[in-house]
Each structure stands twice: as structure tokens, then as C-alpha cells.
Structure 1
Amino acid sequence: MSLSMQQRGNVFLVAVACLLAVGICLPFSGHDLQRTTQIVLSLGAVLYGVSAGSSERLLDRPSAYGLVAIVGLGLVSSALAHQPLWAFTEVALFIGGGAIAVAFALLRRHGGERMDRALVLIAMLLCLVKSFQYLYAAALAFTSGNDVLNLDHLLSGFSNKRFYGQFQTFTLPLLALPLLLPGVARALRAGVFALLCVWWLIAISGGSRGTWLGLAVAAVVLTVLGAWGRRWVAWQLAALCGGLALYWLLFVGLAGYLGIEVGSGAGDRLTTSLSGRGPIWSQAWQMIVERPWLGFGPMHFADITNDTAAHPHQAVLQWASEWGVLSALCVAALVWRAGWATFRVVRARALSVAGEDLLRLCLFAALIGALVQSMVDGVIVMPNSQVWLALVVGWLMALHAWRTPLGTALPWVGDAWKIATLLAVGLLLFIAARDLPHTIEDQADYLRAGHDHLQPRFWAQGVIAFPRQ
């Protein structure tokens, strides 16, 4: 690999770290800023992918055909949609996510294990910053003299605490990697475990049941994947107990001693209610019944007004109602193929202590958790979650051990992909340039029109059921 390729990879990795930090660590960060950083990251990924000029194949033929079918069906559905431009924008987001995944895969292929260490370090630093922000906010709350402490006010950087929970679903599994690696210094291991305990404290106090459910299912799956999988589960359970102990000390013991009433506590979330999802799931189902094959068009759940949300908080219902049942079946088949192939590799290397095998285990846990959470939450909608999903998928693609070599890609396939990604990012940049100057005004107009909350989709005000001024 030439020095110039190394430099391009390093520049791209630094840009990724900075964009992720801007998207979640700034106090004023939120949905629109995260969407903007996602678009910029997609542009960087496309430029890096084009400059890499790699002839490597990352997918086998059935997977490539499946992706072509998904994009093709999405384009047809978009052309027939009520608002084609918004539908094509959603397809562009999908292609942009693919560009990010490919860029991460190429980055790891060219950079080797050095990039693995960089990934984990970036995740740890982001979680460390968010943990300091949380603990600092808690300290201010305890010393403010107020009689009431709302735990939701301790969370920052996200428009909704569920979006924070989605970020934790991706990062909690990765934070356990240094605890699994042999030869890690005891002091570093203790520091990482303390960070993991605080990260679990935030996950508990945030009250995102989707995160709890996703990681519980991931733990069950990893339990059957050998000794290292069970060790991952043991570390997570130990950190969960540490997080619960911290929660009790801070928000039960200390709050009670100071006479502070705690609002939005974790105990309030221990319910089986759907939290208003019933009506939007029903709406998505009615859309499927009405237009089963090609759907209403990508993003077009947001084209039908309701009082709850601009997406159904359920990945299968969303995809089938918007892109159509045929596309949803293609997506399900690809997810199953990829998941099963990764499961077999992880199980075959269950006794390996190699860093890349342990990283694959953690990435697989993050992917399982995110997929499970997407059944009850908008993981495939929120910009930060889309970026992390692309990151995890791209890294798993790079680490995957194929039973037979894939060979080199056909030149016309690579050229077609580059053209598609350039067109997709161009459309995303156009939408951003068109909308960003007046997003605040649009949100104010939407709230003045009698709506009591924003409904995020592409932007924080994601409803497209009325023409933009």
C-alpha cells in the first residue's frame, strides 16, 4: 500500500472521528446537526471510496444481486410516490449508508489491525466524553438546590433519549473488547470497566427499553457462541450490576438523603406498554394492505399525518409500508444471510484469542442488539444510528472470512456503484442546501400550527404531508 493511500485512510478516519464527536458531543447537538454530519460523512466516504480505486470484492454475487434489487425496487417505488423527490432522498440515504459501509470496509482492509484499535479508541473516547457530560450534569443537579431532579435532563447531545439509547446499543458491546483482549494492563482494564459501569448507569437511567431488550437478546446469542461469548456476557453483567449500584447510590440513596425527588426514573419504564406505538403500527399495516408490492414510497409514512410519529418505530413495518413487501423480503433475506454467515464464523473461531476475532464477536453483538431494537424503535431512521449501523456492517464485511475467495470485482460494477454514490450524495447535498437555512423557521411554523411536538424523520421536523414554504 502506498504512502498516499495510508494518508488518505488516516485523513478519512480523523474526519470520521471529528464528525461523530460534533454530532453527539456538542451541548447543542441534535437531530438536524447529526443529519448534516451524516451527509458530510457520506460525501467523505464516497470521495475516499473513489480515490481508493480498489478492485476488491466485498460481497458475493447473491448479496450484490439482492442490493441491486432493493435499490431498483426503491427507485420504481419512488417514481410512483406522491412526493418523488422525498422518496428519492430516502433511497439516496440508503445508498449513502452503503458508501459509508464500503469506505469503512476498505479502510480496515488497507489499514489492518491498526484500524481496529483506532475504532475501539474512538468509541471509548466518545463514550468517555458523554460519561463526563452526564456526571457533570448530575453534580450540578445535586448542588443546584432544586427539590426535583428529572433524569432526562442529564442526557445531552440527542433530540430524544431513545436516540441516546440507540447509540449505547452500538457502543456498549464494543466497550467490552479491552476486557476480553489478553495482555491488557490491569490499570487500563480497571479504567475500561469503570467506564462500562458508568455507560450502563446512563443506559439504566435513560430508560430506553429497546436498548435493554436488544442487549439481552445479544447476550443470549453470545452465550451459545463459546467461552469468549460467555466471557463477554459475564463482563456485561458485572458492569450492569455496577451501573445498578451507581444508580441506587446516586438517585435513591444520595437523592433521598438530600430530600430530592427523582423524576423519570428507571422504575417508571418497567412496563409492557407500547408507548403509543399501537396506532402507528396500525397505520403502517393499513398502508401495506393498500399497496403491498411497491409500497407508498420511501419516507412516505411521513406523508400521512398522525399525532405520534413520522415513522412507525418498527423496521419491518416501515420498510414494507414504504418500499413494498418485495423489497422488505429482499432486505430480510440479506440480513438473514449476513447474520447467519457471521454467526458461523464467530462459532468456528470460538476459541481464538486473536484481536480481530474478539472484535468480530463484539461487533456481532452490537449488530444483534441494533436489529432487535429496530423492531420497537427507529434505529433505521435516526442519522447517528444509521452511521453506526453502516460502521458496524462495514467493519464486519472487512473482517469476514469467506470460505472461498471472492476474486476481483468487474470494472463496470465498480463504476456503476461510484456513479450511484455520487448521484446519491449530490441529492443529499441539494436537500441540505435547500432546507438548512430555514429549518428553525419550519419547526416553529409546525409547532405554531397546533402540533405539540416535532416528529423526526429526515429533519427534526420530519412530516412531509404538507408543502414546504
Structure 2
Amino acid sequence: MSFPKPAKPGIYLTLCLTLLFISVVFTPLSVHNWQRFVLIFIAAVSLFLTIACHLKRPEPGLFNTRTRLAFGLVFGFGLLSVINAGKPQWALIELAVLLACCCVVCGIAGQRTANAKSDRLLIAFVVALCCVKTLQFAAGATAAFVGGVDVLDMTLLFEGFSNLRSYGQFQTFTLPLLALPLLYPQVKKSAKAWVFVLLACWWMIAISGGTRGTWMALAAAAVVMLFGGQFGRRWAGWQLTAAASGFALFWLLFSVLPAWLDIKIINSVGDRLTTTLSARDILWQQAWEMIKARPWLGYGPMGFADIPNPIAAHPHQAILQWASEWGVPSALLVCGLAAKGLYSTFTFIRAKAGSDEPVDVLRIGLFASLVAALAQSMVDGIIVMPYSQLWLCLIVGWLIAIHPQREPQTASSPTATWAWLATALCAVLFLGYVVVRDVPHLEENEQQYMHDFGGHFQPRFWLQGVIAAKPQ
């Protein structure tokens, strides 16, 4: 896998970040299906840049030979699983999504490698995006309190996603990065004070949303970062302080103030919180039965969505999902690659524990964001939702770009490189065909699903993600 160098610094990354911004700020566009379009479009742009720059001048690969081999094995197992799947076309779509995500990772990594100043762009983007979303939340709450309503539905304050849990996933990625300006020595104290206020408000919104997976994910990241040296502990300290401040804000705004104004709060976090698994145990049991029935190649990518259940089209657990759909050997390979990357990054963070260089501080935030996302993927659909997939690609690609190479990276053979580029091109073109094929009929298919199955939509590739046939 080669990486591109930009003709004009920052244009590609600016485009990606702009689309990430639009996809959650403007309500008509902030839905699951639109976010799927954005993922495919960014993958297409990434691949175009990669091919164009490779034609101009081949570059060393992003990964060493062992990692390339592991990726090749995952792809090979994926192809075999597609052939073995009950719905091969949908399985091929899921495999194409994986390749599209690889294109985005390579594009992000290549562009950041060629333009180190992009780090400032990333931090500024996260601060601006969280600020706008906080203002949206505050505007809704203010309108309710000032407008004299008798009842305030908390779910109406969360704009930008088809599902409230997806909002929590978005905050899982951004909370670790939003704390970074508090760690930079170069940032003025007045600016840090404003950033802390924003971080506390962002925590208040995370608490209001009631996504337990987000709370658990940030707690897991904080525990890991306690062992990440001086700046890792400072990052964890700021998160804990901001979380406590956010809880105080939540209590004042949605407990004390409504009682004073005689406003009834419905669908508050207290009403939605439970100590149960929220039916995840049923999903996990289904995935486990699928693993036992077909351990080697699974039921095929997206195969879980081909077995109807009243809860979800994916098991809300990344390892069980991969093992049940792609097979146990593929799941072990993916877990091994993830563990290798995490260990290598954490080892370097420990080695640079006392460094206040901007890139070393940024690495802490990116690593914490990735750890939090992987922790939440154990109880949620981080690897399924298109917007979360984009953030995962962004974090992984940026981490790859700033990770020091401990061994010289040699370019893969021209045949292997062009084989990868041709495969990725086929995947992106196929996804484009799927969009053209399905978009005119999305509403019709959603109505048909409601008629055949009833109940709520279960997102997977599309917002209505169940691919099973009508029950007889």
C-alpha cells in the first residue's frame, strides 16, 4: 500500500474534515444513509489521490511485510467467507466497505505524512465541531426553558444522528482529542480556560445522552493513560475534572432549574438508565451460536443481518461480530493486528513520557481516542455505523502517520501494489453501483421492511439494514 503526497497541502484533509462537520451539524444531511454516502465519497477521493501519486512517483509502503501479509490473509479469508455466505452480494458489499475504509486510512496517513502542519488543523477542527454541537444543544435547551414549555423531551436536544447511541460514539472519539489543548505548554491560560469550559459542557452532553458505552470507554482510556507517563496522567486528570464539572452542570440544568421553573423532564438519562445489558445478551448468544455452527468462515460478512431478530442487525460486540461473520481465524488475525498496533504505540508513548513536543502530546490524544473506541466496540456498533467508521479511519490513519518507523519500509512489488489498487478500485466502484442501485428505492424498501417485520429500523449498511427474506 503506497501513500499519496498532496499537490496542495491540506486540501484533502480539509475536504474530509469539512464532510465530517457537515454530516453532524446540518440536520437534513445528518442521517445514517447520508453518512454512508460520505464514507464512499471520501474513499473514492482517497483512492484517486493514491493512484495519481503512485503514477507520478511510487513511494515506500505504509506497512512492513508481515503486516501486509496479515492484511492479505484477512482479505483472503474474507473472499472465502463471501463465497460461503447465504447472501454473497451483501457479503461482498461488506468486504468492499472494509477496503474502502483501508483507502481512507491510507489517504489520511499519506496526507498527514506529507504535511505535518495538519496536526493544528485536526485540533482546531475538533474544538470547532464540539463547540458548534454544544451550541446546538444549548440553543435547544434555552428555547425550552425560556419558551415556557411544560414538558421537555431530552431526546430532542440531540441533533445530528439517526440514533442517540451514535451520538455517544461520536463523543467517544472527540472527548479524548478535545482535552489536548489543555496539555500543550504553548497554549495561553485564557485559551485553556475556554477549552476546559467546552470540555466540561461536552461531558455534560455525554452524561445527558445516557450512552453507558461512552462512559465505560472513557473510563477504560483513562485507566490505560494512567500508565502513559506524565502527560498521560495529566490527560486522565483533566478528563476526570471535566467529567465531574459536567455532572454538576447536568444536575443544575436538568434537575434544579426544571424544578424551579416547574418543567417536567421526560426521557432523561435517569429514565433510560438500566443495570441490564439492554438485550445485548440475546444478540451475543445469537452470534455465539453462529460461531459454533460455522467457526472457520462464518456466515459471511453482514451475515448477522440475514438472521432476523427484533433487536439489531449486528451483535453490538466487535469480536463476536467478526468471528460470527468472517470466521474465527480472520477474527484472530484482526485482533492480532490491533494488539500489535496498540502495543507499539503505547510503548512509544512510554518512551516519550516526558516530552511536551506537540506531536507526542497529539499521540496521547489519538491513542486514548482509539482505546476508548475499541473499548466501546465491545458493547456497541462502533465498527458498523458509517460516521464512526470514518472517525476510526481518521484516528488510525493519523496515528500511523505520526508513528516513527523502527525499520526501513520497503516498497512492495509493483505487481502487488497494482493488484491492491485494482482491488480497491473495484471495491469503490462496486459501492458506487450499490448506491445508484439502492438510493431510488430506499424509502420503498424501508416501508416494505415495516410491513414484513414491523418494529424499528436496524442499521447496517443502510439505515434499514436487515437483509433477511420476508418470514413465511
TM-score w.r.t. structure 2 length?
Answer: 0.95
Q: Aligned letter for 1:13?
A: L
Equivalent position of 2:127 in the other structure = 124
Q: Between the two proteins, what is the percent identity of the paired residues? A: 46
Match in the other structure for 2:104? 100
Matched with 2:52 is 51
Q: CA deviation at 1:449?
A: 3.3
Structure 2 residue 430 is the aligned partner of structure 1 residue 427: yes
The alpha-carbon deviation at position 179 of structure 1 amounts to: 0.8
Secondary structure of the structure 2 residue equivalent to 1:403: coil
2:344 pairs with 1:341: yes
Structure 1 letter corresponding to 2:199: L
Residue 367 of structure 1 pairs with residue 397 of structure 2: no
Matches within 5 A, 1:294-313: 294-313=297-316
Distance in structure 2 (CA, Å) of the matches to 1:450 and 1:415 = 44
**In structure 2, what is the equivalent of residue 16 of structure 1?**
16
CA contact (8 A) 1:8 1:48 kept: no
Q: State how far apart, in whole Å, the 2-side matches of 1:404 and 1:81 are.
A: 39
Does residue 159 (structure 1) correspond to residue 162 (structure 2)? The answer is: yes
Q: CA deviation at 1:14?
A: 2.3
Work out which of the residue numbers 276, 287, 310 in structure 2 matches 1:284: 287
What amino acid sits opposite 1:19 in the alignment?
L
User: How far, CA to CA, are the matches of 1:123 and 1:187 in structure 2?
Assistant: 19
Residue by residue over 1:264-284, the C-alpha shift from the partner in whole angstroms, topping out at 9 and shown as x without a partner, is 223345533100111111111
Moved more, 9-18 or 309-318: 9-18
Quickly say closer, same or farther: Cα 1:6–1:336, change in 2 above 3 A.
closer
Deviation at 1:6, TM superposition (A): 4.2
Contact 1:45 1:100 (C-alpha < 8 Å) held by counterparts: yes
The aligned runs of 1:213-362 (5 Å cut-off) are: 213-362=216-365
Contact kept? 2:137, 2:157, Cα under 8 Å:
yes
Structure 1's unaligned 5+ residue stretches are none
* Aligned match of 1:36: 37
Give 1:392's aligned residue: 395
**Is the contact made by 1:9 and 1:48 (CA closer than 8 Å) also made in structure 2?**
no
Q: How does 1:188-207 map to 2 (within 5 A)?
A: 188-207=191-210
Q: Deviation per CA, 1:215-241, whole angstroms, max 9, x where unpaired?
A: 101000000111100100111112112
Judge which range, 265-274 or 305-314, deviates more. 265-274
Alpha-carbon deviations, 1:389-421, whole Å to 9, x = none?
Answer: 011111111111232222334323322221121
Q: Please point out which of 51, 65, 72 is paired with 1:68.
A: 72
Distance (Å, rounded) in 2 between the aligned partners of 1:142 and 1:167: 27
Determine helix, strand or coil for the equivalent of 1:224: coil
2:36 and 2:461 in contact (8 A); partners too: yes
Deviation of residue 8 (structure 1)? 4.3
Give the Cα separation in 1 of the matches to 2:427 and 2:112: 24
State the alpha-carbon separation in 2 of the partners of residues 32 and 9 from structure 1. Answer: 30
**1:377-416 equivalences in 2 (<5 Å):** 377-416=380-419
Aligned position for 2:113: 109
Q: For 2:9 and 2:290, locate their aligned partners in 1 and report how far apart those are by CA, in whole Å.
A: 44
TM-score by structure 1 length?
0.96
The secondary structure found in structure 2 opposite 1:385 is: helix
- Over 3 Å counting, the alpha-carbon distance change for 1:288 and 1:359 in structure 2 is same
Q: Which amino acid is 1:39 matched to?
A: I
Distance 1:63 1:219 in 2: 29
Tell me if structure 1 keeps the 8 A contact 2:10–2:118. Answer: no
Cα distance in 2 for partners of 1:36, 1:82 equals: 26
| Range with greater deviation from structure 2 (50-59 or 75-84) | 50-59
Q: Counterpart in 2 of 1:25?
A: 25
Could you tell me whether the CA contact under 8 Å between 2:5 and 2:111 is conserved in 1? no
Give yes or no for contact 2:96–2:431 (8 Å, CA) kept in 1: yes
**1:177-196 CA distance string (max 9 Å, x none):** 11111121222212211111
Q: C-alpha distance in 2, partners of 1:334/1:272? A: 33
Q: What residue identity is the alignment partner of 1:352?
A: S
Q: Tell me the distance in 1 between the aligned counterparts of 2:5 and 2:229.
A: 38
Q: Give how far 1:5 is off.
A: 5.1
2:6 & 2:336 partners in 1: Cα distance? 36
**1:416 aligned partner, one-letter code:** A
Contact between 2:6 and 2:12, CA under 8 Å: does it hold in 1? no
- Shifted more, 308-317 versus 181-190: the winner is 181-190
What root-mean-square deviation, in Å, do the aligned CA atoms of Structure 1 and Structure 2 show? Answer: 1.5
Q: Distance in 1 between matches of 2:383 and 2:374?
A: 9
Between 440-449 and 414-423, report the one with greater CA deviation: 440-449
| Total equivalences in the alignment | 463
Alpha-carbon distance in 2 for matches of 1:283, 1:5: 45
Q: Greater shift after overlay, 239-248 or 310-319?
A: 239-248
**More displaced, 144-153 or 309-318?**
144-153
Letter in 2 for 1:93: V
**Cα displacement (A) at 1:351:** 0.6
Q: Which runs of 4+ in 1 moved over 4 A?
A: none
Deviations 1:326-371 (A, max 9, x none): 1001111111111111110111101111111111110000000000
**Further displaced range: 22-31 or 47-56:** 47-56
Q: Which amino acid is 2:70 matched to?
A: G
8 A contact 1:55–1:409 mirrored in 2 = no
Deviations 1:132-170 (A, max 9, x none): 111111112223333222211110110111101111111
* d(CA) in 1 for partners of 2:338, 2:98: 15
Report the secondary structure of 1:149's partner residue. strand
- TM-superposed deviation, 1:32: 0.5
Task: State the shift of 1:9 in Å.
Answer: 4.4
Q: Distance in 1 between matches of 2:453 and 2:254?
A: 36
